[in-house]
Structure 1
Amino acid sequence: MSQKKMAAPCARVASWPLLRYFSRFERTTIANSVFRPFSNSSLRRSNLRNKLAPETPRSPWTLMAAVCLQRPPVISADLSLVEQRFARLMQQMELEKSILSEHELRLLEDAERLRRKQADEDEDDDDDERKEQDIVLTQDLEDEWERKFKTFRPAPRNTDDADKDLSSSGRLLSDSLVLLAEQQVGSDKLWLLPQAQWRPGETLRHTAQRALDSLAEPTIKANFLGQAPCGVYKYKLPKAARSDTSVGAKIFFFKAILTPDTPTNAEPNAALMWLNKRELQRFLKPAYMMKVERFILSP
């Protein structure tokens, strides 16, 4: 009798439909962690959701890289009146506190030997011959220095003729110059730092190098100062030219220094200009100039 009572629940469970049995099993915590649902409807919904999901939107900003190429001063700047007075004062103090050099001491010794010789003081013949030779050699040395000094011609500090050629890197030798290039921006031609649009697969540093290589001046050689940009400038396109995929551009600036062995431009180049910091304000827009002047090295 007890066996029949124990078999009754098992019989009721065995009589349940198979779908009802698994649906009750799926609601348990253990089943959810161990078994997958037998229905693949969730998998189909997941695949459909992935197909209908929109792709990651592309940035509406155009990335660009520009080069701030500077030519450092070639000569020292002219001294002001106060600096000239201070320089003369330091020279006078150095002269008063200085001691005689070896050449000056040798000249005094030679002059003393000559005086003693003229006074017919007793001296050995060998000593007289050596001293006479020393005096002649010392005087010859000074004469040689004087001859070289008279033939020496220093490079001119005044470069008025070259200063008029804005495309020459040999102008304004005592000032720091920045290279500008005339570039097409939309329907306008603007004077800007050499720039180029970023291409997928390259770094912004390589883009800046490509912008410099694209100039029509193959003699320009530069050393970049680091691999990271030193500034950024962002601008928006006019409302009529904007779209969902194009709003404006972000320009990342890189610093570079012109190498000393770069020759000056032999012929004028109308597409390039070398300007100092004061002259840049005449050609660059105020918002652009405000970003650029932050990292320009000027004496």
Structure 2
Amino acid sequence: MRKLQEEEQLRRRKENIYDDDDERPGKTVIMAQDLEEKWEQKFLQFEAAPRVTDADKANTLTSLDRRLDSSLLLLVKQKVGKQELWLLPQAEWQPGETLRSTAERAMGTVLGEHIQAKVLGNAPHGIYKYKFPRAIRTEDNVGAKVFFFKAFLQSSDLSQAELKEDYLWVAKDELGGYLKSEYLKKVNQFLLDL
């Protein structure tokens, strides 16, 4: 719009059909065309920062400064029965809690109180059901359900984080090296490649 207005002003000046308000003595006029050329020069001098970081080179999976072209997921090592498994953060539901508040509590126990994450929505994005080993099954308690919620980390500065467990930040294509196959299938159903 500005460029069109300035072209109209130039046309009117050439034809001597301009208002006194258009030209004030001592006023510097910067045309949109001049700005575009200046911006083009700045753009040509711009050099993007490298996407491969020191954390990528050292393969530091506990750093968020890696795989800058991918979304990273938080995995924590949790004891399930006698096994230690890599899982998405999870916690047992407490009576009176909503599923969302359970998810927020699970993240709080892993990230601590200084780091905030924003949970998306009140409904889970996925579910994983499994049966307990026969030795620990009861008539009332045959298995469990794990509800998955998506959340975005609102701060990438983890210097104040009180990560209490073993943790990793991994991209979707790296999940196969850490998650069991059935669990991975359920997680892949609700994860998008962004």
With the length of structure 2 as denominator, give the TM-score of the two structures. 0.70
Q: State the 1:238 CA deviation.
A: 1.2
Does residue 247 (structure 1) correspond to residue 134 (structure 2)? The answer is no
For the residues of structure 1 that align with 2:111 and 2:101, how far apart are their CA atoms? 18
Q: Tell me if 1:276 matches 2:171.
A: yes
After superposition, the C-alpha distances for 1:142-166 in whole angstroms (9 at most, x for unaligned) are 9xx69x959x875622334122211
2:182 aligns with: 287
Q: Does residue 1:156 correspond to 2:44, yes or no?
A: no
Alpha-carbon spacing, 1:212–1:154, altered in 2? closer, same or farther (3 Å): farther
Match of 2:64 in 1: 169
Query: Secondary structure of the equivalent of 1:178?
Result: strand
Which of 204, 210, 230 is matched with 2:105 structurally? 210
Amino acid in structure 2 at the alignment position of 1:272:
Y
Equivalent AA in structure 1 for residue 108 of structure 2: D
1:179 counterpart = 2:74: yes
CA–CA distance in 1 between the matches of 2:181 and 2:124? 21
> For 1:244, what is the secondary structure of its paired residue?
coil
Amino acid at match of 2:94: R
2:21 corresponds in structure 1 to none
Cα–Cα, structure 1 residues 245 and 188, in superposed 2: closer, same or farther, change >3 Å? same
Q: Tell whether 2:116 aligns with 1:238.
A: no
> Any gaps of 5 or more consecutive residues in structure 2?
8-25
Local SS of the residue matching 1:212: helix
Could you report, residue by residue, the CA deviation over 1:118-176 in whole angstroms, capped at 9, with x for unpaired residues? xxxxxxxxxxxxxxx99xx99xx99xx69x959x8756223341222111122111111
How many residues align structurally? 172
Quote the residue 2:23 is aligned against: none
1:94-243 superposed matches below 5 A: 149=42, 156-163=49-56, 164-243=59-138
- Output the CA distance in 1 between the equivalents of 2:126 and 2:144: 14
Aligned to 1:263: 156
- Structure 2: how far apart are the matches of 1:174 and 1:205? 29
Matched to 1:190, the amino acid is L
1:167, 1:258 → 2: CA distance?
A: 15
The sequence identity of aligned pairs, in percent, is: 43
Contact 2:115–2:158 (Cα < 8 Å) also in 1: no
Find the aligned partners of 1:205 and 1:238 in 2 and give their Cα distance. Answer: 28
Q: Which secondary structure does the structure 2 equivalent of 1:194 belong to?
A: coil
**Higher relative contact order, structure no. (Cα contacts within 8 Å, ≥ 6 residues apart):** 1
| 8 Å contact from structure 2 (residues 128, 146) kept in 1 | yes
Q: Relative to total residues, which structure has the larger helix share, 1 or 2?
A: 1
Counterpart for residue 108 of structure 1: none
**8 Å CA contact retained: 1:233, 1:288:** yes
Q: Partners of 2:178 and 2:90 in 1: how far apart?
A: 16
Q: Are the counterparts in 1 of residues 53 and 65 from structure 2 also a CA contact under 8 Å?
A: no
Q: How far apart in 2 are the matches of 1:209 and 1:219?
A: 13
The one-letter amino acid paired with 2:49 is: P
Q: In 2 relative to 1, CA 220–169 (structure 1 residues): closer, same or farther, beyond 3 Å?
A: farther
Q: CA RMSD in A?
A: 3.8
CA deviations 1:175-209 (Å, max 9, x no partner) are: 11111111111111111010000111111111111
Separation (CA, whole Å) in 1 of partners of 2:48 and 2:157: 15
